[in-house]
C-alpha cells in the first residue's frame, strides 16, 4: 500500500512573507516562496499521521484536502510546531474519539501546562486529545498499511527535538543543529532526507546551508529536501546552487514512500 509524505509547511518560525509583509530576499512573484510554518503529514488510503500542529494548520489542511487526522506526532515544544493544536478539534467532533498524540515527556508536560483544555475535560468542553509517550520504535497498523516510525533525539540549540524516520525510507528533521554521531547509522543511505536548513549564516539552533551539505555528504541520502527556510533563501536562487540530489522544499511538496 502506498504511503505519501507531504510537506504541509516549510517556512521558518515567522513564515514567508512575515506577518509584516516582508519577503526578505525571496521573490514574491515565485509561488514556492510563500511558506507556512513547518509541519508534515504521512498519508495512506486509510490514515493521516500528522507531524506537528503549526499555527498555519487549518490553512494547510484545507489546501491539501485533508479530511481526517488519525494521530499526531510532536517533534518538540516550540510555538511554530505546537500552537495550531486547537485546529484538531473538528477531527474529534467528526470521529467522536480522542485523537492520540505522541511526544516525549518534556513536550507532554509543555502541552499539558499550556493547552490543558485539549487533554482534560472542562465544564463547557470535552477533552479532544489523548497524550502518549513516543517510543523509539512505533508501529501503527491501519488496515493493510504498516507504518513504522522511529523516533530519534537530535540537538536543536538548547532543547532536544525528535527526528522521525518513516519505514526506514524517509527522515524528517525540521528543527535541528546536531545529529549525535552514534545515531548516524539510522540516517545513512535513506531514500529521502527532509532536513532543517534555515539560512546561509550560522545559527545557534538550526543547520545552515554549509552544515547541511556537509551532513548530506556523510549520510548519502538519495534525495535531500531542505525545509524550515527563512526569508534569506529564495527558492530559485537556492535551486540553482544546490547539487542535483538536493532540493529546496515548497509548501505542498510530496512524494511516495
Ligand atoms: Zn524549534
Distance 156 CA to ligand 1 centre (A): 7
| Mean pLDDT computed over 109-133 | 96
Q: What is the mean pLDDT of the chain?
A: 97
Distance 116 CA to ligand 1 centre (A): 21
Distance 143 CA to ligand 1 centre (A): 34
pLDDT at 1: 65
Q: Determine the Cα angle at 108 with ends 149 and 56, to 5°.
A: 75
Distance 95 CA to ligand 1 centre (A): 30
Q: For residue 6, report the phi and psi dihedrals to the nearest 5 degrees.
A: -120, 130
Distance 15 CA to ligand 1 centre (A): 13
Query: Is residue 148 within 8 Å of residue 3, measured between CB atoms?
Result: no
pLDDT at 143: 86
| Mean pLDDT computed over 171-181 | 98
Distance 111 CA to ligand 1 centre (A): 15
Write the DSSP string, 18-45: -TTS--TTS-TT-GGG-B-B-EEEEE-S
Distance 175 CA to ligand 1 centre (A): 5
Rounded to an integer, what distance in angstroms lies between the CA atom of residue 251 and that of residue 37? 9
Rounded to an integer, what distance in angstroms lies between the CA atom of residue 2 and that of residue 25? 38
Distance 207 CA to ligand 1 centre (A): 12
Distance 157 CA to ligand 1 centre (A): 9
| Mean pLDDT computed over 136-146 | 91
- In b/e form, how buried is each residue of 226-248, taking b as 16+ CB within 10 angstroms? bbbbbbbbbbeebeeebeeebbb
**pLDDT tens digit sequence for 220-235:** 999 999 999 999 999 9
Distance 162 CA to ligand 1 centre (A): 11
pLDDT at 106: 97
Burial of 189 (0-12, 13-18, 19+ CB in 10 A): exposed
Rounded to an integer, what distance in angstroms lies between the CA atom of residue 142 and that of residue 152? 23
Distance 173 CA to ligand 1 centre (A): 10
**Which runs of consecutive H residues, i.e. helices, occur in the chain?**
57-63, 79-82, 89-95, 105-114, 116-119, 184-187, 209-219, 235-241
- Cα dihedral 133, 136, 137, 142 in deg (nearest 10): 30
pLDDT at 2: 87
| Mean pLDDT computed over 231-250 | 97
Angstrom CA distances, 212 to 55, 66, 188, stand at: 26, 31, 14
Three-class secondary structure of residue 256 per DSSP: strand
- Residue 103: is its pLDDT beyond 90? yes
Q: What percent of the chain shows pLDDT beyond 70? A: 100
Neighbours of 65 (CB within 10 A): 6
Per-domain boundaries in the chain: 4-256
Superfamily of domain 4-256: Ribonuclease Z/Hydroxyacylglutathione hydrolase-like (3.60.15.10)
Establish whether the linkage from the previous residue to 89 is cis, with ω within 30° of 0. no
Rounded to an integer, what distance in angstroms lies between the CA atom of residue 205 and that of residue 145? 35
Distance 161 CA to ligand 1 centre (A): 8
Confidence of residue 104 (pLDDT cuts 50, 70, 90): very high
Rounded to an integer, what distance in angstroms lies between the CA atom of residue 228 and that of residue 177? 12
Amino acid at each position: 500500500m502506498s504511503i505519501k509524505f507531504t510537506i504541509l509547511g516549510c517556512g521558518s518560525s515567522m513564515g514567508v512573507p512575515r506577518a509584516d509583509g516582508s519577503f526578505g530576499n525571496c521573490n514574491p512573484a515565485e509561488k514556492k516562496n510563500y511558506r507556512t510554518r513547518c509541519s508534515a503529514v504521512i498519508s495512506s488510503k486509510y490514515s493521516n499521521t500528522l507531524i506537528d500542529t503549526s499555527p498555519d494548520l487549518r490553512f494547510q489542511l484545507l489546501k491539501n484536502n485533508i479530511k481526517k487526522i488519525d494521530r499526531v506526532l510532536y517533534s518538540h515544544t516550540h510555538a511554530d510546531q505546537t500552537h495550531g493544536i486547537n485546529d484538531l478539534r473538528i477531527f474529534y467532533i467528526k470521529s467522536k474519539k480522542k485523537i492520540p498524540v505522541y511526544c516525549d515527556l518534556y513536550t507532554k508536560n509543555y502541552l499539558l501546562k499550556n493547552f490543558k483544555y485539549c487533554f482534560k475535560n472542562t465544564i463547557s468542553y470535552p477533552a479532544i486529545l489523548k497524550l502518549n509517550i513516543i517510543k523509539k520504535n512505533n508501529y501503527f497498523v491501519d488496515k493493510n498499511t504498516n507504518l513504522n516510525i522511529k523516533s530519534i533525539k537530535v540537538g536543536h540549540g538548547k532543547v532536544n527535538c525528535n527526528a522521525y524516520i518513516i519505514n526506514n525510507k524517509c527522515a524528517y528533521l525540521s528543527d535541528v543543529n546536531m545529529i549525535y554521531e552514534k545515531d548516524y547509522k539510522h540516517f545513512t543511505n535513506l531514500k529521502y532526507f527532509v532536513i532543517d536548513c534555515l539560512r546561509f549564516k550560522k545559527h545557534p539552533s538550526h543547520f545552515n546551508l554549509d552544515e547541511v551539505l556537509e551532513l548530506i555528504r556523510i549520510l548519502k541520502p538519495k534525495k535531500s529536501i531542505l525545509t524550515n527556510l527563512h526569508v534569506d533563501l529564495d527558492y530559485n536562487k537556492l535551486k540553482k546552487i544546490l547539487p542535483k540530489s538536493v532540493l529546496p522544499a515548497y509548501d505542498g511538496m510530496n512524494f511516495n514512500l
